[in-house]
A = this chain, B = another copy of it.
Amino acid sequence: MRFSCEKKDLLTGINIVQKAIPSRGTIPVLEGVFVETISDMLRLKCSDLALSIESHIPALVEAEGSVVLPGRVFSEMVRRFPEGRVEVECDSERTVKITCGHSRPTLQGMSASEFPHMPVIPEAGAVEISQCRLKNMIRQAVFSVAADESKPILTGALIEVEDDDINMVALDGYRLALRREKLHRKHNSNRFVVPGRTLSEAAKILSDEDSMISIYTGSNQALIDLGYTRIATRLLEGDFIKYRQILPQEHTTTATVSTLELLEGIERASLLAREGNNLIKISVQENKFIITSNSEIGTAYEEIEAKMEGKQLDIAFNAKYFVDVLRNLDDEQIMLNFNTNISPCVVRPVEGERFLYLILPVRVFGA
């Protein structure tokens, strides 16, 4: 194998694919970056078996071949190379000679034949969506996936496609995020559950542009195709919770507040929430929310302007669940629905149905 490419292209490619390198490695070859020449391109790939990412960069190929290079060192090395041309030559012993300016390191490669292949998934029935739209959906939903593995299916987010609707749903038993978007055309019905880690890494790779990408789904795998870059992931198996059944149909109190004021008030109050439960109380009153909390060293008292209709109520929450939602919303104002102080709060946009968050309250004795 012998090729040359621009340092900046190589670095861009490595930065994309290395997101799939497992954090704790047990299989040595997976700690590497797979490098393969394809006519006038270089294919780079990393995989932790559950998630695989490949990317293509332009290269001048003089002899075809493939090899796996030690991932962490190769990526740090390329980052520190001077700008310019990188030349790479791999011999039959997989000794890889690299030249960039006056830097001429040699790396011991591993056999590319042991590296996992990207799954082959039929291209029929792909979901088509713009990069920025998918990125935004992920950002506004993925924080609600379960962190613990006791119910593995909840560590992923459900993606539902129906006609020109796409929904992303994540829930962990204490809160639920539902993010709805429109597709540019009708699609066949489709439902699949993507691991949260895949979505988080994909969101870092997706751009803020509105170029279209395709999502192909097989029985237990999916492929997000960005053109030069492809993200393959296993899907989570099992039945996702029938979330529609737990969305409240009625409410007795509706309030409209500034997203930023509510976020800042809750963040300040949580500084004085007793460590561990992170408990804040919200008193929903006619023209305002009063947020309070207390700990050994003091008490918080925050007033937020609100437009309220319906019954007043006092309700308590884990501050983190509100902060996660509010930090990821771009809407200046949001609407909150309450029933009682033991039923979930619903966070919605002032207009439309783009998102819906459910946050379970904390039952406070003597409140």
Which residues of A (105-134) have their CB < 8 Å from a CB of B? Answer: 105-108
Interface residues as binary, A285-329 with B (CB distance below 8 Å gives 1, 0 otherwise): 000000000001111111110000000000000000000000000
Q: State which size class the interface on A falls in.
A: 20 to 34
Q: What's the Cα separation between A264 and B84 when bound, in Å? A: 15
A302 touches B104 (CB 8 A): yes
Tell which of A73-81, A160-168, A227-235 binds the partner. A73-81
Please tell me how many copies of the chain the complex holds. Answer: 2
Q: What's the Cα separation between A303 and B300 when bound, in Å? A: 61
B103 touches A302 (CB 8 A): yes
Q: What's the Cα separation between A39 and B106 when bound, in Å? A: 69
B302 touches A107 (CB 8 A): no
Q: What's the Cα separation between A108 and B297 when bound, in Å? A: 5
A268 touches B106 (CB 8 A): no
Partner of A73, one of B73, B108, B264, B297: B297
A73 touches B105 (CB 8 A): no
A108 touches B298 (CB 8 A): yes
A80 touches B271 (CB 8 A): yes
B268 touches A80 (CB 8 A): yes
- Return the chain B residue nearest A303 by Cβ: B102
Pick from A102, A299, A301, A304 the residue with the most CB of B within 10 Å: A102
Q: What's the Cα separation between A106 and B294 when bound, in Å? A: 9
Q: Is A272 an interface residue (CB 8 A)?
A: yes
Note all chain B residues with C-beta closer than 8 A to A58.
none
Between-chain CB contacts (< 8 Å), 11 pairs: A73-B271, A73-B272, A73-B297, A80-B267, A82-B264, A102-B303, A104-B301, A104-B303, A105-B300, A106-B298, A106-B299
**Pairs A-B, 10 closest by C-beta atoms:** A107-B298, A102-B303, A104-B301, A70-B297, A105-B300, A106-B299, A80-B268, A106-B298, A76-B271, A108-B297
Residues of A within 8 A of B (CB): 70, 73, 76-77, 80-82, 96, 102-108, 264-265, 267-268, 271-272, 296-304
